[in-house]
Chains A and B, each alone.
Chain A
Amino acid sequence: MNRNSRWKLARSNWDMYALLIPGLIFLLLFKYTPMYGVVIAFQDFNIFSGIKGSEWVGLDQFQKLVHSDDFYQVLTNTLLISLYKIIILFPIPIVVALLLNEVRKMLFKRAIQTIIYLPHFLSWVVISGLFVTLLSPTDGLVNQIITAFGGKPLSFLQDNSLFRSVVVFTAGWKEVGWNAIIFIAAIAGIDQEQYEAASIDGAGRIRKMISITLPGIMPTIVLMFILRIGSLLEAGTEQILTMYNPLVYDSGDVIGTFVYRMGLGQQDYSFSTAVGLFNSLVGFILIISGNMLSKKFLKRSIW
């Protein structure tokens, strides 16, 4: 198509461009303006002087970050919580999908699915509320069971050695069922003839699960895994914000919560933005490399 006819096409569809206006305003104002705002990471930002009036300090904030013990603690916490979540919580939805696939009684299958999807629709605040009650040191069910077996009650949400486990467990409780949906869908897409052929060869159900179902959903598993790695530095800011307290900052403070505390709590806007920028950059690099790997090995890209 030459230039002239492209222009003609655009002009005759002028109202398409008009439809785009609210979306573009949103994009520029709420997405790209904050991206421009990250320049305050290179300033000693003063809220009264604004971006134009504040002093430029180059990489000072990043030097402060590199020399900050708090930052290393926070980075360690973020990576640990995130890695635990990946290692422990990534395989479970796959297993759940495989097991659900073996259930022949539709009513039972649907009942279990309905129940395990439900927590996905609750907010982190509600879930924290549920678990604060369940884990209460004085009258929570879990501690009543522990004491019934002669153990000592544990303060799950105040103890640095337990807090991360609670974070990982509750994240699993919320999302395992929901995350299984995608694998259930992938299993439904497997060619049924393969199963029939395997039956004729005398394969049992476990054999079929290992030799047909699992390889059949492997591309989906790898794709989901790459996507998951892309959000490695997201250990669950909102989740932890609703659960933690100063007693467990040592084990539970992650990049997102640290940025919030430093920035809005202590008004250290520039330093906080520098930490946030570090977070965004690493996340960006992870997603881009994940997509490249996916293109190369799966011949399939995420976007």
Chain B
Amino acid sequence: MHSKKINEYALDTVIYVILIALGLSTLVPFITVLSKSVSEEWAITSGKVNLLPVGFQLDTLQYVVTNHQFLHAMLISVLVAVIGTLASLLITAMTAYPLSKRELPGMGIVIVLFVFTMMFNGGIIPNYLLIRQLNLIDNLGSLVLPGLISVFNMLVIKSYFESLPQSLEESAKLDGARNFTILFRIMLPLSGPVLATIGLFYAVYYWNDYFNPMLYINSTSLKPLQLYLQDIVMNADSSSFKMSAEDMMNVPAEGVRAATVIASTIPILLVYPFLQKYFIKGVLIGSVKG
């Protein structure tokens, strides 16, 4: 009995050590970058900054977040994410509702048409040529329109609608309500959790999207945050950062890079704790079914 208890402790210790190591290895990249963004310039260039900051200053961060280009890129990203998420949610729900009525003629075929696009697509070049044909190059529409409906998300909302009691719709119909009214007045208000989750997935998609902007946006004034960030991160010299000679003296490239990464991560870090309860629920809605 005694040795069994010792075994239990040993097992617990091993489990805790592994999980703490996993947690730390997730945090270390954040911590090092955060440390560099608040360290003194000389300390970074001489390689003195390890895990913890050396010296402390907020000038670099302040410089980055007050930079005109940074703010502009941030604004573009917020605009695309907000409009994209709202439009996506509306159209996805509008599509999912009729498709949840399998008894209506034709709906089965439409579902197959949607599901097929999950497995086969035209690829990068035909998509690029389409956007070009539609005159959407250097237009923010190119960042929103091609992602309007994610078929996966649509199927999740569809199966949620299917799980709602049919009697609700039937009684509304007896009162003379049309399907249109039923969707917007009854079904959607009852779908809070699933809409929040899917909204989160769309918001993350639009906010993090790098591929579409890279393909379709050339104009500096329309670059969203991810594209702007990539310029900063991959150019070791900070030439894409328009700096005066005086700024160059004061702000180290490495520090600016670190501060830009941190400043772009802050919005996600701020909303993340509030979103957590939704996304776990959402993943379960999407996956356990079947």
Contacts and interface: CB of A to CB of B under 8 A. Distances in A.
A115 B19 CA distance: 11
A273 B26 contact: no
Interface stretch (B61-69, B124-132, B188-196, B238-246): B124-132
Interface in A1-47: 6-7, 9-10, 13, 15-20, 22-24, 26-27, 29-38, 40, 47
- A interface majority secondary structure: helix
A283 interface: yes
A102 interface: yes
B208 A130 contact: no
B47 A280 contact: no
A277 B8 CA distance: 55
Interface residues of B, number: 98
A133 B257 contact: yes
A272 B129 CA distance: 12
B171 interface: no
- B interface majority secondary structure: helix
Contact of B117 (A31, A238, A241): A31
A242 interface: yes
Interface string A266-303: 00010011001101100110011000000000001011
A269 B129 contact: yes
B256 to A, nearest CB: 11
B25 A20 contact: no
A248 B179 CA distance: 56
Contacts of A125: 208, 210, 226-227, 229-230, 233
Interface of B: 4, 7-8, 11-12, 15-16, 18-20, 22-23, 25-30, 32-33, 36, 44-45, 47, 49-51, 91-92, 94-95, 97-99, 101, 103-106, 110, 113-115, 117, 119-130, 145-146, 148-149, 154, 178-180, 183, 204, 207-211, 214-215, 226-227, 229-230, 232-234, 254, 257-258, 260-261, 264-265, 268, 272-273, 276, 279-280, 283-284, 287-288, 290
28 contacts: A9-B105, A18-B180, A19-B183, A23-B92, A24-B110, A34-B122, A34-B127, A35-B120, A37-B126, A38-B126, A108-B16, A112-B22, A115-B23, A115-B27, A117-B279, A119-B26, A121-B208, A123-B208, A125-B210, A130-B30, A130-B32, A132-B234, A141-B28, A185-B283, A263-B125, A264-B124, A273-B123, A280-B121
